[in-house]
Chain A
Amino acid sequence: MRTYMGIDVGSVSTDVVLIDDDNNVIASAYIRTAGQPIKAVQEGLRLISREKPPEAKVYAVGSTGSARELAAAIVGADVVKNEITAHAVASSTLVPGVQTIIEIGGQDSKIIILRNGVVSDFAMNTVCAAGTGSFLDQQAARLGIPINEFGKIALKSKNSVRIAGRCSVFAESDMIHKQQMGHKMEDLLAGLCEALVRNYLNNVGKGKQILPPVAFQGGVAANEGMKKALEKALGMEVIIPKDYCLMGAIGAAMLARKQERENGQTNFRGFDVTDINYQVTSFECTKCPNLCEIICISIGENDICRWGGRCERWQISGEK
Chain B
Amino acid sequence: MSQVIVGFPTTLTYYLHYPMWKVFFSELGCKVETSPMTNKKILDEGVKETVTDACVPIKLYHGHAVALKDKVDYLFIPRMVNVDSDKNITFCPKFLGLPDMIKASIPNLPKIISPSLDRKSGHYYLYKACREIGRQLEKPASLIFRAYRRAVSIQKKFEKIMVQNKLNPVEGIDYLFNSGSCSERPDADLNIAVLGYPYQIYDPYISANLMSWLENHKVRTWTMEMVDYSQLQKYSGKLKKKLFWHFSNKVVWACYHYLDQPHIDGIIHVTAFSCGPDAMVDKLVELECKQRNFPFLSLMIDEQTGEGGVTTRLEAFTDMIRYRREQQG
Contacts and interface: CB of A to CB of B under 8 A. Distances in A.
Chains A and B directly touch (beta carbon < 8 Å): yes
A116 B210 CA distance: 30
Contact of B316 (A85, A288, A291): A85
A122 B316 contact: yes
A290 interface: yes
A84 B312 CA distance: 8
Nearest to A209: B290
A207 B298 CA distance: 12
Contacts of B313: 82, 84, 124
A138 interface: no
Contacts of B323: 118-119
Interface string B18-57: 0000000000000000001001111000000000000000
Given A82-B319, A207-B286, A310-B209, A121 B40 contact: no
A43 interface: no
Interface string B281-324: 00100110010010110101000000111011101110110011
B205 interface: yes
B286 A289 contact: no
Interface of B is mostly: helix
A224 to B, nearest CB: 30
Contacts of B205: 290, 310
A122 B209 CA distance: 21
A289 B40 contact: yes
B40 A290 contact: yes
Given A66-B312, A126-B300, A289 B42 contact: yes
A126 B271 CA distance: 12
B320 A290 contact: no
Interface residues of A, number: 24
Given A66-B312, A124-B309, A310-B307, A85 B319 contact: yes
A301 to B, nearest CB: 28
B210 to A, nearest CB: 12
Contacts of A289: 36, 39-42
A278 to B, nearest CB: 20
Nearest to B319: A85
A289 B41 CA distance: 6
A73 to B, nearest CB: 15
B327 interface: yes
B320 A122 contact: yes
Contacts of B298: 123
Interface of B: 36, 39-42, 204-205, 209, 273, 283, 286-287, 290, 293, 295-296, 298, 300, 307-309, 311-313, 315-317, 319-320, 323-324, 327
Interface of A: 66, 81-85, 116-124, 126, 207, 209, 288-292, 310
8 contacts: A81-B315, A84-B312, A84-B320, A85-B315, A119-B323, A126-B300, A207-B286, A310-B307
